[in-house]
Amino acid sequence: MKLAKTNNIPLDQFINLALYDKDKGYYMKKNPFGEDGDFITAPNITRLFSEIIAIWIITFWKSIGSPKKFNLLELGSGNGEMMKVIDETLMNFPECYNACSFVIHEKSNYLINEQKKNLNSQKFSWLKDIEKINSNPTIFLANEFFDSIPIKQFFKKKNVWFERFVNLSDRKKAEFNEEKIDIEKIEKHLNFEISKNQKVIEYSPDTFKYLRTICNIIQKNDGGMLVIDYGYADSKMHETLQAVKNHKYSNILENIGDSDITYNINFHSFEKFINQFKEINSIFTNQKKFLTSMGILQRAEIISKNIAFSKKADLFYRVRRLIDEKQMGELFKVMLVKNKKNNFKTGFQN
């Protein structure tokens, strides 16, 4: 891992090194998804999840006037599992399928190769810079994407703001420390007031760049973005930084490059940021309400009619993992970013 001239770096730079260093970064050298990886995402639990997303895409595509050409762009596609099932499902709806260009935005060359193995369709293309997308309407999918983007942390102590840094002078004994910062300068640069009524701030400069770019694209070309991620909607931010290795929490400063580092999305700050755009708004629900209102239980019933009891039990066990409030149903939130003139609410009728 190459460091700058100093060994004391802001938290987001440390996370960027740990996750995306060209040689030793966590996402750059292995496939962390599934039973054999460090964590399981919803598309790995049951293909029903991705089928439901595909059905949602068709209804949303209709809400923007069923354009003859549109882009379906997934941000961070993991091992390509979700896109694979969406591709297979949309084939049953030729009008939508023929209109669709499948695009994947992925930072990791290792994962791009994994995706290419999983997705042998000629319809797929990969795009490093989403600003270079064509002018057709674009539907963005972000399933557990934003939680993998490096964040900064700030703490308020006696009315003074401090930023969290990591000292890497000794790689085996990495340490947190803090440096005083001017929060107003940061807010001026962001053009966004983030510190009001806060004692802790977690935010990702790159996330706000993505949101700005995507909102501009939706305003200009039409479309929308479906965000599915774990997080919370309080106006007060909490400290939520965590590392995961072998499906268990681990120490962020240990196993650098061998653990995933993640955090809970503060959807209230997303909403506030999106509200800056005159023609864009967002609607919000949790994963349980979204999937059940999209008919996941009825779909499971239909599929399970002619299968063995053990397979039926396994299917419903997997669906429960997605919608149970004590598992993913409440922890995972779903947000749609769209043009205000589009009154679409499918999946969000709370």
**Mean pLDDT confidence for 292-317:** 87
Cα–Cα distance, 326 to 293 (Å, whole number): 19
DSSP 42-78: HHHH-HHHHHHHHHHHHHHHHHTT--SSEEEEEES-T
Q: Map out the domains of the chain as residue ranges.
A: 8-338
Please report the pLDDT score of residue 16 as a whole number: 92
Pick the closest to residue 290 from 25, 28, 74, 60 (CA basis).
Answer: 60
Q: Is the per-residue pLDDT at 7 higher than 80?
A: yes
**Mean pLDDT confidence for 313-337:** 90
- Split at pLDDT 50, 70, 90, the class of 173 is confident
Number of continuous H segments (helices) and E segments (strands) in the chain: 14, 16
Least confident of 4-13, 25-34, 234-243, 272-281: 25-34
Q: Is the per-residue pLDDT at 269 higher than 50?
A: yes
| 194-217 per-position pLDDT tens digit | 898 899 999 999 999 999 999 999
In the CATH hierarchy, which top-level class contains the domain 8-338?
alpha beta
- DSSP three-state, residue 284: strand
Match 């290792």 to its residue by tokens. 110
**Mean pLDDT confidence for 86-113:** 94
Decide: pTM greater than 0.95: no
Q: Is the per-residue pLDDT at 12 higher than 60?
A: yes
Please report the pLDDT score of residue 20 as a whole number: 87
| 242-260 per-position pLDDT tens digit | 988 776 788 889 888 888 8
Q: Show the CA angle centred on residue 204, arms to residues 270 and 172, nearest 5°.
A: 145
What CA–CA distances, in Å, run from 288 to 30, 84, 297, 345, 346?
A: 31, 23, 11, 16, 14
- Which tokens is 237 given? 């931010």
Least confident of 67-81, 105-119, 239-253, 276-290: 239-253
Cα–Cα distance, 182 to 162 (Å, whole number): 8
Measured N-to-C along each axis, helices 47-63 and 296-303 cross at an angle, to the nearest 10 degrees, of: 130
- Split at pLDDT 50, 70, 90, the class of 32 is low
> Strands, DSSP E only, in the chain?
8-10, 70-75, 100-105, 124-126, 138-143, 152-157, 160-167, 175-180, 200-203, 223-232, 242-245, 248-250, 260-262, 265-266, 280-286, 332-339
- Which range scores top for mean pLDDT: 4-13, 111-120, 146-155, 180-189? 146-155
- Split at pLDDT 50, 70, 90, the class of 316 is confident
Measured N-to-C along each axis, helices 81-90 and 47-63 cross at an angle, to the nearest 10 degrees, of: 60
Q: Show the CA angle centred on residue 301, arms to residues 296 and 303, nearest 5°.
A: 95
Please report the pLDDT score of residue 39 as a whole number: 56
Q: Is the per-residue pLDDT at 90 higher than 90?
A: yes
**Average pLDDT across the chain, whole number:** 90
Please report the pLDDT score of residue 38 as a whole number: 53
Cα–Cα distance, 136 to 275 (Å, whole number): 24
Cα–Cα distance, 182 to 135 (Å, whole number): 39
Q: Is the per-residue pLDDT at 98 higher than 80?
A: yes
Please report the pLDDT score of residue 9 as a whole number: 93
Q: What are phi and psi of 186, to 5 degrees?
A: -65, -45
Match 């499918």 to its residue by tokens. 346
DSSP 102-120: EEEE-S-HHHHHHHHHH--
| 116-160 per-position pLDDT tens digit | 988 976 889 999 999 999 999 999 999 999 998 999 999 999 999
**Mean pLDDT confidence for 1-29:** 80
**Mean pLDDT confidence for 185-191:** 85
Please report the pLDDT score of residue 292 as a whole number: 95
Assign 3-state DSSP to the chain and report helix, strand, coil percentages, each to 5. Answer: 40, 25, 35
Q: Is the per-residue pLDDT at 34 higher than 60?
A: no
Match 């967002």 to its residue by tokens. 282
Please report the pLDDT score of residue 131 as a whole number: 96
